[in-house]
Amino acid sequence: MRVVTPKQMRGIDKVAMEKYGIPGIVLMENAGIRVAEEVIKLAGGRGKGVVMLAGKGNNGGDVMVAARHLLNNGLPVRVFLLGKPGDLKGDAGLNAGILTRMGIPIEVLLTGEDLIPLDQALRWGHAVVDGIFGTGLKREVEGLFLDVIRAVNKSGCTIVSVDIPSGIDGETGRISGECIHASVTVTLGLPKSGLLQYPGAEHVGRLVVADISIPRATTPESGPDMVMLTRECISGIIPQRKPDAHKGDCGRVAVIGGAEGMTGAVVLASLGCLKSGAGLVRAALPGALNYVLENNVIEAVSVPLGEGTRLKLDRSTKSRLREILDWADAVALGPGMGVDGDRVRFLEFVLTNARVPLILDADALNCLALDMKLLERAAVPVVVTPHPGEMARLTSTETGDIQRDRIKAAKAFAEKWGTVTVLKGANSVIAHPKGNIYINTSGNPGMASGGSGDVLTGIIASFVAQGLDPVKSACAAVYIHGRAGDLMAEERGVYGLTATGLADFIPMAVKAVKQG
């Protein structure tokens, strides 16, 4: 499903009205109907009061329409406007007039004294419709607006937000001081990028994408091309198995990494490969640690590199590395590798000599951060999989800078360095070098545990080896990884989820995605 910025959505609305001739009041009517339908579902019957909160923009007009339809369906309403009735212009003002002629008073919220009737209404009401701010909010929420938002959040009512919970930046997901904690958000036309980025995403509740009759062919004139990853998106991407397939047909992955105390990362990446369908896996790690892999992943072939406990280049290591690089269909480098001058030279050798796509994770990224120009040595597609801290090191910024606008950070890195960029975290962002953005929707907080990222690296490498291009591999892997975590959480809860257990759920996640 397409995702847009608020600016892009305004452009789409404009095209719908000017090119296709759909009056704005029709779009507003459809929006209000969709909001009312969700409130009616939640109310579960007639007679339950609904508090309607309208701002001065088009969201306020949507609220007026919704109030009319709720009344017609037997639900009593109290309508509050944060402003003066004369502040409502155009289609919003027209719908406010209709409501008034129906005998429904519009109560104004202008001062602190006006909070008294609002508090009374919140005790009376079963649900609240939030149309205070729209998706274009950029300023901080303060004064009376802040008081109203706090009162609504404390009320205990079910809250239905129109387009976006008031107080959330529609583009970045930043909270402008404080925001509505919605139970349901009815977003209009297409989902907005701010609904899918944290911290705002935490307060969206159940997201409903409402069709308001905008023609599907209508596209934004400028800005990033963004897609929300769903089961429907991914089900057709996952590689199909031929009836007569053999292990050589199903992809050969080389996993390279490991250091003393960190060999488990190679184990987990190898499991990620195998559980997601790779036919053959070779795991290359320091020779003195080879036994760890052989004792934990018997399906993978171990390749000892040197005799010590860390990776470094010498004549024999270079020879074995060339063999494994020539053998593989995809190479995952970095899990548990460690960071120092020897490992930087190791990374440079792999970047220079690989002839198949590379997936760089963990310490490969930390080594890369010491010399970003090494990326220019790669003659093959590269996928990088940083978490926010690693992305901050790669870009010489702070983690907070990355988290303030994750889409912008991933997009900028992908375009600058020509890599498929997977910025991990809640609702991971995948960025294509040409500017396309993909936002994941699977996963849960239980996956925030050591080793989960190593499993993801293995899945990406596996899908690349099975023949998918790097972007599709990253999208499919990120979604499957999250779906495995969701299945695991459904069975065990979110506490104590481990990366090893996560790997065991990958086959079930693939089955669930493919079969629906």
Domains in the chain: boundaries: 2-222, 233-238+251-515
- Residue type, position 387, single letter: H
Rounded Cα–Cα distance for residues 216 and 286 (Å): 54
Between the CA of residue 369 and those of 340, 374, 395, what are the distances in Å? 11, 9, 8
233-238+251-515, what's its fold? UDP-N-acetylmuramoyl-L-alanine:D-glutamate ligase (3.40.1190)
Q: At residue 162, does pLDDT exceed 80?
A: yes
Please give the pLDDT value at position 218.
79
Is the model's pLDDT at 46 over the cut of 80?
Answer: no
pLDDT at 243: 84
Measured CA to CA, the distance from residue 343 to residue 334 in angstroms comes to: 9
Task: Tell me which of 217 and 433 has the higher pLDDT.
Answer: 433
Mean pLDDT of the region 87-96: 94
> What pLDDT, in 10s, does the model give residues 382-405?
999 999 999 999 999 999 999 999
Q: Which two three-digit tokens encode residue 112?
A: 């602190």
Q: Tens digits of per-residue pLDDT, 316-342?
A: 899 999 999 999 999 999 999 999 999
Residue 221 confidence (pLDDT): 66
What are residue 170's DSSP bridge partners?
none
Q: How confident is the model at residue 450 (pLDDT cuts 50, 70, 90)?
A: very high
What pLDDT does 258 receive? 96
Most confident by average pLDDT, 248-252, 310-314, 498-502? 498-502
Mean pLDDT, rounded, for 470-488: 98
Q: Are 352 and 358 in contact (CB under 8 A)?
A: no
Q: Is 376 exposed, middle or buried (0-12, 13-18, 19+ CB in 10 A)?
A: exposed
Q: In Å, how far are 318, 454, 475 from 478, measured between CA atoms?
A: 32, 12, 5
* φ, ψ at 124 (rounded to 5°): -80, -35
| Neighbour count for residue 494 (Cβ, 10 Å) | 15
Residues 6+ apart with CB under 8 A from 308: 286, 287, 288
pTM: 0.94
Gap between the Cα atoms of 39 and 42, Å rounded: 5
- In angstroms, the CA 456 to CA 460 distance is 6
d(CA 271, CA 82): 56
Q: What is the pLDDT, as a whole number, of residue 244?
A: 83
| Radius of gyration from C-alpha coordinates of the chain | 26
For residue 477, pLDDT beyond 90: yes
- What is the spatial distance between Cα 77 and Cα 93, in angstroms, rounded to a whole number? 18
Sign of CA dihedral 184, 188, 189, 194: negative
pLDDT value of residue 437: 97
Looking at residue 45, its pLDDT comes to 64
User: According to the model, what pLDDT value does residue 220 have?
Assistant: 67
Q: Which residues contact 201 (CB under 8 A, 6 or more apart)?
A: 173, 195, 426, 427
CATH number corresponding to 2-222: 3.40.50.10260
Q: Contact at 8 Å (CB) between 458 and 268?
A: yes
pLDDT at residue 249 in the model: 81
Mean pLDDT (the chain, rounded): 95
Residue 43 has pLDDT above 90, yes or no: no
Residues 88, 56: contact at Cβ < 8 Å? Answer: yes
- Residue 222: is its pLDDT beyond 80? no
What element of type H or E holds 408? helix 406-417
Is the distance from CB of 366 to CB of 373 less than 8 angstroms?
A: no
C-alpha dist (Å) from residue 337 to 286, 288, 310, 449: 9, 14, 7, 19
Q: Nearest-CA neighbor of 475 among 442, 451, 508?
A: 442
Listed in sequence order, the residues at least 6 apart from 153 whose beta carbon sits closer than 8 Å to its beta carbon are: 159, 180, 181
End-to-end CA distance of the chain: 17
Residues 136-143, mean pLDDT to the nearest whole number? 93
pLDDT for position 98: 96
* Alpha-carbon span 7 to 224, nearest angstrom: 11
